[in-house]
Structure 1
Amino acid sequence: MTVAVTGATGQLGRLTIARLKTLLPAGEIVALARNPEKAADLGVEARAFDYDRPETLATALQGVDRLLLISSSEVGKRAAQHRAVIEAAKAAGVGQIVYTSLLHADRSPLSLAEEHVATEAMLAASGIPHAILRNGWYAENHTGAIPAALAHGALIGAAGEGRISAAARADYAKAAASVLADGGHAGQTYELAGDDGWTLAELAAELSAQSGKAIPYRNLSQQDYAAALTGAGLPEGLAGAIASWDTGAAQGALFDDSRTLSRLIGRPTATLAEVVRAAL
């Protein structure tokens, strides 16, 4: 059996392959990456896999039994890129696809949802057995703001009192590796999120407790948060998108209490205290 992982040199891809190597022989794992040279340290076979060169993808997928399709990082291009991968997988005879989607994609108000829903529909139409991992927010999406919060004395956002059921990226990677290695999840859609949701105010309080520095949470309007992110150097479009995702969180878009993720990985997901400690 051969399993392959797209986006293998990305943060989720690297963690997933590391986990797969504890479940399967390294010789059964293939890392698919735009620049396979960057995958040399993964200890598995690496193949060139460029979403924007669809004519090459089926060749790269030859002999692959199960494929983890990690959603592209290029928002706005994802649907076309994912279609190319799915068509190539069908041409290559891939037996199963596991896809990383978005939490509650079918009803999410987040702008990210549209391309995930489109990809899920493509998978359904393809006839390829598949499983959908609807990943919630990565805790690192917010702990990445810790250096700036410590430097400026406040954590800012626009999520209000919205509870965010974030989990560590490593938790999602463990779930993806388990489903891919097991192969028995075709037809399943899993809503994956952290066990215990938290607000950005609670994140700020935990950061304050662990750092010994008073870091309040300052809730801004979506417009003001976008402006602050632009002022910090983010491109205007990206800043606006991030601010809108916070507004979605305020509406409950990033909350889920099913604990499906912890059941898949066989242990509780990382706590808020643990992810803050890791970030610090």
Structure 2
Amino acid sequence: MKIAVTGATGHLGSRVVAHLQKKIDTKDIVALVHNKNHATTLINEGLEIREIDFQKRESLEKAFVGIDTLVYVASKTYSVFDRVGELENVLAAVKKNEIKNLVAMSFIADQEDNPFVISPFYGYLPRRLAGTDLNYAIAKNSLYADPLVPYLPELIERKGLIYPVGKQAMSFITLEDSAEAMATMALNEDVLKSRRTYLLTQSRSYTMPELGKIMTKVTGHEIGYHPVSVEEFGKIYAAEGDGAELASMYKGGAMGYLHGLSDDFAHLTGHEPEAMEHFLTRSYHE
């Protein structure tokens, strides 16, 4: 059985590949990438590399030949139109190659009235898959904890978190745990046949004062909570190219839409997800 992973050189996809390598022979894994020049490590590890372009259905149809299970890690774009087109191209190529199994990445912000700009896609994904005859499982990730680590120096300087979510809590998962769960899903026949969504979170969520206390303990610097408005947040990070988009996500967070909790990770993997304090302590180096 061959399992293919899209985005195999990315932050999540590369970790999914690594977890699959622990469980099955490398020859049974296909790394789907946008540019082979970025896949040197995977090539050196002996993986089969195939290039894809999500916006060109023909490239997907060619790359999916001989695949039994596809792990679909979506591209990083805030364009709903592009994401939907990408998904439709993926499903068309899956159908042409008679692939039976699909693991799809999703995100917790999928509520019908969530203002996050890409939320419509996350609402579309499960409904679209429900209309297929695929065996599938959807990995609905909570917020990734990993970006908090490089963010810590800025938070130390600011002396506080500034996310505009008020008193609402937010849920997190590490990229490593998300990848382990997705690799496990791809190898579990019962999970693939479940045609359901699995919410991946740590065992608890955090209000911003609670998260700040953990960060204070880990860094030794006082990190409180000094929220700015949604508009101000967007302006602060506009230069990074996604300030408005992230601001819309946290606007949904202020509505209570980023705090869901689940024990799905433990049921899938047989162990608890890494806790926030442990992750930050392990990852932070002053």
TM-score, L = length of structure 1: 0.92
Instruction: Answer yes or no: is the 8 Å Cα contact 1:24–1:181 preserved in 2.
Output: no
Deviates more, 1:59-68 or 1:125-134: 125-134
Does residue 27 of structure 1 match 2:16? no
Aligned to 2:12: 12
Cα deviation code 1:188-222 (max 9, x no counterpart):
22122221101222222212112111122211111
Identity of aligned residues (%): 25
Aligned runs of 1:1-280 on 2, under 5 Å? 1-42=1-42, 43=45, 44-76=47-79, 77-103=82-108, 105-107=110-112, 109=114, 110-185=116-191, 186=193, 187-230=195-238, 233-235=239-241, 238-280=242-284
User: 2:109, 2:252 within 8 Å by CA — same for their partners in 1?
Assistant: no
Confirm or deny: 8 A CA contact 2:109 2:122 kept in the other structure: no
SS in 2 for 1:4: strand
TM-aligned CA deviation for residue 155 of structure 1:
2.4
The question of whether the paired residues in 1 share the 8 Å contact of 2:168 and 2:207 is answered with yes
Q: Secondary structure at the match of 2:205?
A: coil
Q: Which amino acid aligns with 1:193?
A: T
**Structure 1 residues 223 and 9: CA distance shift in structure 2, 3 A:** same
Change (3 A) 1:39 1:184: farther
Name the aligned partner's letter for residue 117 of structure 1.
G
Larger mean Cα displacement after TM superposition, 258-267 or 135-144: 135-144
Q: 1:148 to 1:19 in 2, by over 3 A?
A: same
List structure 1 segments (4+ residues) > 4 angstroms apart after TM superposition.
none
1:104–1:153 distance in 2 versus 1, CA, 3 Å: closer
Gap regions ≥5 residues in structure 2: none
Change (3 A) 1:138 1:4: same
2:171 match: secondary structure: coil
CA RMSD in angstroms comes to 1.7
Deviation at 1:97, TM superposition (A): 0.9
Tell me, yes or no, if the aligned pair for 1:16 and 1:177 is still in contact at 8 Å.
yes
- Cα distance in 2 between the residues matched to 1:71 and 1:48: 15
By how many angstroms is 1:104 displaced? 6.2
| 1:11 counterpart SS class | coil
Identify unmatched segments of 5+ residues in structure 1.
none
- Matching residue's letter, 2:251: T
SS at match of 2:240: coil
**Closer/same/farther in 2, CA of residues 136 and 151 from structure 1, 3 Å limit:** same
Deviations 1:157-176 (A, max 9, x none): 11112111101111110000
